[in-house]
Structure 1
Amino acid sequence: MNKILLIIKREYLSRVKKKSFLLVTFLVPLFLIGIYALTIYLTAKSFENNQATVYMVDQSGLFKGKIENTDDITFVEGSGDVTAAKERILTDEGKNFLLVIPPDITASSEVTLFSKETASFGVQGTVTDQLEEVLRDRAYADAGIDRATVESIRPKVRVSAKEITAEGEKDSSAGAAMGIAMSLSILVYICLFLYGSQVMRGIIEEKNSRIVEVVISSVKPFQLMMGKILGIGLVGLTQFILWIVLSTALAGMAGTGMIGGDGLKAQVENEQLVSGHPVAGSELGMVDKVTHELGKVDFQTIITTFLLYFFGGYLLYSALFAAVGSAVDSETETQQFMLPITIPLLFTYILSFGVLVNDPHGPLAFWLSMIPFTSPIAMLVRVPFGVPVWEIAVSFALLVGGFIVTTWVAGRIYRVGILMYGKKASYRELVKWFRYRG
């Protein structure tokens, strides 16, 4: 046991002390916050630069004076000369469009939009909405229906979702749960391969440099394998904890600056004074809505479960990665052995975007969260939707049991493969190595 602890200490400290580890650990949260801020900025700029002019040739005469300008699009009623209008949009600078409305618009329900470049979905959607509003008004009038009365009869129902638990009722949010579930599935899928590959790569490097021959003269191959797996696993766990702490701190600072800052409040108040009524869908309201939805999520359970299943899944798959690393002489030879390892994770990862999110408590989701090779992703997708404690306990116990069995199998292959050079391994060879006694 002391030898395993020494190997764990060496693997852990040798990686944690690297400048690359420190840079990645502290820069990733800043990078994510920066990407988020840049996305907001570029989105705002794209709306600012999205001003367009639509020249209308109304051959039906139904839309004269009835089309309203929007914040992004200015509608200009033109003459009936379509050819001259086409030449105009070709010569004028900026985003210009030509809308030709045929005389039989009520029968055909089709118009033509000309432009130098393909019109965006936003422009096409605005044009469609404007025309449909006018045609709808005409249809109401022809039918003798008062549209104002119809529009006033539009009831809205707000669903307040609650879960019934042994402790009582609690709020729930399917939207927030779905977003967190998808994020966790992506994160775990990437990280299991990222840190598992580090184990495999480290074993291949030591094997090729013949350092391993010196090391196993003092320790058993199984001790070396376990030390490397646990050491690198603790590195990943440390990095994740630091990422969570730093991201939470940075997000809190950014949120305080955005929500509590006088600048945003003043901006919203000015918009309310100008318009004479509260701003619908304002930035402040959106932040409040997101914060309210996230407040319904049990982050303590999610983070605890994530750390448990990340480390348990890493131990399980790293044992397999270690066996593969011991069986080959270079990374190019690992492909034939990687496919059987990746299939369970890839299968669950794909299902997480549809089946698991839409039916997190169904039989397929339940059994995938119990099988050790699929539970690291499946259970983390289900947890934000609420999973009984006994299911988490049974699933994690099976994951630990799967790790023990997998490590025993991988250790028997590792003890032979780590000293095997110049011989291309196959599945038949791996079976022979597993059956070797001694």
Structure 2
Amino acid sequence: MRNIFLVIRREYLVRVKKKSFLIMTLLGPLLFVAFYATVFWVALGSVDTKTVQVLDESGLFRNEFKDSETLKFAYLDSSIDSAKAKFKSSEANALVYIPKNVIKEPKSVRIYAAKNVSMDLKSEIEKVIEKEIEDIKLGEAGITHKILEDSRVNVNSETISLSEEGEKTSSSGAATVIGGICAFLIYMSVFIYGTQVMRGITEEKTSRIVEVIISSVKPFHLMLGKIIGVALVGLTQFVLWILLTTALTSATSVVLNNKMSEQSPEVALEMQKMQNGMPASNMPGGNVENPVAEVLGAVSSLNLPLILGCFLFYYLGGYLLYSALFGAVGAAVDNDADTQQFMLPITLPIIFSFVFAQFVLRDPDGTLAFWTSIIPFTSPIIMMVRIPFGVPAWEIALSMFLLVLGFMGTTWLAARIYRVGILMYGKKVSYKELAKWIFYK
């Protein structure tokens, strides 16, 4: 055991002290927060106000185009030829021409511009014209605008989980997002850190350093120490990413909330309501929907301690299972180029797991979801997709038990290959040769 701890300590410290580790650990959260902060900042930033001239020969849309912060409308009383001639010398961004027969021929509307107009501007103009024409035709049929508005219903259902603890509000949207993120992190970590184990073993074998190490450490202890050491590096990076991202996100959200409050009094009222812990109905203007509050409420409805605990277990279990196989490949070959022929059988289950996860999100309690969350080679990713939706305790326990057995099996298999291949040089290894190594005494 002492030798294993020495190998773990060496593998951990060597990787943690690298500049690349420090840079990626600090740069990852910064890039993540900077990306989303930039998106929000651009969305909240000022947009140039556009001026649109409207030539309405029908006289039906005189007061229908409403000015906004981004659009200003100016109505013209002239012929279309005169309007087009003056438009070229004006500072207007677009000229909308609505002919007299627009009711019978709605496609006769024309939008003139020095350059192509944006899709948003085109859609806004078409929406106003379509709505007015619909209202006119409905009025002729005896249906008023009030009747039409009363008939429109927006259904926004609330999902509630019925459990032994009683009724509890749930969110399928939040479960989908959290499950997808956890599955993606495990998918990436298995590839990244498993490959590090394989390359580390290959480098030591190529440089013949391993011959010196094996003289004082058993091959199995060396392999196990490398696997656990790299796993601890991955956990350290994940923990630092979570802490740094949380701190940066909190600071960024304060800045963005202040900017949102400056631009919209309604948002300011909502923020005040959230800080006081009051429901929306208790605040003036509290009927305003706040997407941030909705997201926080949806996430809080999930069993976050269970999700976090299972994530750590399945991250470690999935990594340990696959890294043992990656380590066996590294010991069996002499250079990185030869690893490709043995990588496919290892990477296919990981890729299939990520593909199956898309279908499991649609039916988290289906037959495919059950079996793929039980099989050790696919359970780390699939089970993390299912857990936010709610999984029976016996299924989680069975999945964890089989994953532990799977890790023990792959470690035994990898150790049999490792003990022979680590000192094998100058020989092209095949699958048949690997099978012989497994049963060597």
Cα-Cα RMSD: 3.0
The residue number in structure 2 matching 1:344 is: 349
TM-score of the superposed pair, with normalisation by structure 2: 0.86
2:39 maps to 1:39: yes
Deviation at 1:142, TM superposition (A): 1.3
Deviation at 1:315, TM superposition (A): 0.4
Cα distance in 1 between the residues matched to 2:190 and 2:114: 48
Deviation at 1:383, TM superposition (A): 1.0
* CA distances 1:43-88 after superposition (whole Å, capped 9, x unpaired): 223xx23533444455655434433333323344455536973994
Query: Residues 421 and 118 of structure 1: is their aligned pair in 2 closer, same or farther, counting only changes over 3 Å?
Result: farther
The residue number in structure 1 matching 2:80 is: 81
Query: Residues 193 and 130 of structure 1: is their aligned pair in 2 closer, same or farther, counting only changes over 3 Å?
Result: same
- Supply the AA of the counterpart residue of 1:15: R
Cα distance in 2 between the residues matched to 1:109 and 1:352: 46
2:356 maps to 1:359: no
Residues 123-162 of structure 1: matches in 2 within 5 Å? 123-162=121-160
The residue number in structure 1 matching 2:319 is: 314
* CA distances 1:314-344 after superposition (whole Å, capped 9, x unpaired): 0011011112212223323322222222222
Deviation at 1:158, TM superposition (A): 4.0
Residues 4-403 of structure 1: matches in 2 within 5 Å? 4-45=4-45, 48-58=46-56, 62-77=60-75, 79-81=78-80, 85=84, 88=87, 96-101=93-98, 105-107=102-104, 109-110=106-107, 111-115=109-113, 118-255=116-253, 268-269=264-265, 278=285, 281=288, 285-353=290-358, 355-403=359-407
Cα distance in 1 between the residues matched to 2:85 and 2:212: 80
TM-score of the superposed pair, with normalisation by structure 1: 0.86
Deviation at 1:310, TM superposition (A): 0.4
Cα distance in 1 between the residues matched to 2:267 and 2:231: 52
Moved more, 213-222 or 23-32: 23-32
- Supply the AA of the counterpart residue of 1:343: L
Helix, strand or coil at the partner of 1:74? strand
Contact 1:271 1:279 in 2 (8 A): no
Helix, strand or coil at the partner of 2:94? strand
Contact 1:199 1:321 in 2 (8 A): yes
- Supply the AA of the counterpart residue of 1:141: G
Contact 1:51 1:73 in 2 (8 A): yes
- The unaligned stretches of length 5 or more in structure 1 are none
Moved more, 399-408 or 64-73: 64-73
- Supply the AA of the counterpart residue of 2:293: D
Cα distance in 2 between the residues matched to 1:426 and 1:119: 62
Deviation at 1:104, TM superposition (A): 5.3
The residue number in structure 1 matching 2:421 is: 417
Query: Residues 351 and 139 of structure 1: is their aligned pair in 2 closer, same or farther, counting only changes over 3 Å?
Result: farther
- Supply the AA of the counterpart residue of 1:409: L
Cα distance in 1 between the residues matched to 2:100 and 2:431: 73
Moved more, 126-135 or 30-39: 30-39
Cα distance in 2 between the residues matched to 1:235 and 1:205: 19
Query: Residues 252 and 335 of structure 1: is their aligned pair in 2 closer, same or farther, counting only changes over 3 Å?
Result: same
Cα distance in 1 between the residues matched to 2:11 and 2:56: 75
- Supply the AA of the counterpart residue of 1:207: K
Deviation at 1:93, TM superposition (A): 6.7
Contact 2:87 2:95 in 1 (8 A): no
- Supply the AA of the counterpart residue of 1:165: S
Deviation at 1:196, TM superposition (A): 0.8
Number of paired residues?
Answer: 425
Cα distance in 2 between the residues matched to 1:212 and 1:12: 17
Deviation at 1:296, TM superposition (A): 0.8
Helix, strand or coil at the partner of 2:152? coil
Deviation at 1:306, TM superposition (A): 0.6
Identity, % of aligned pairs? 46
Query: Residues 83 and 351 of structure 1: is their aligned pair in 2 closer, same or farther, counting only changes over 3 Å?
Result: farther
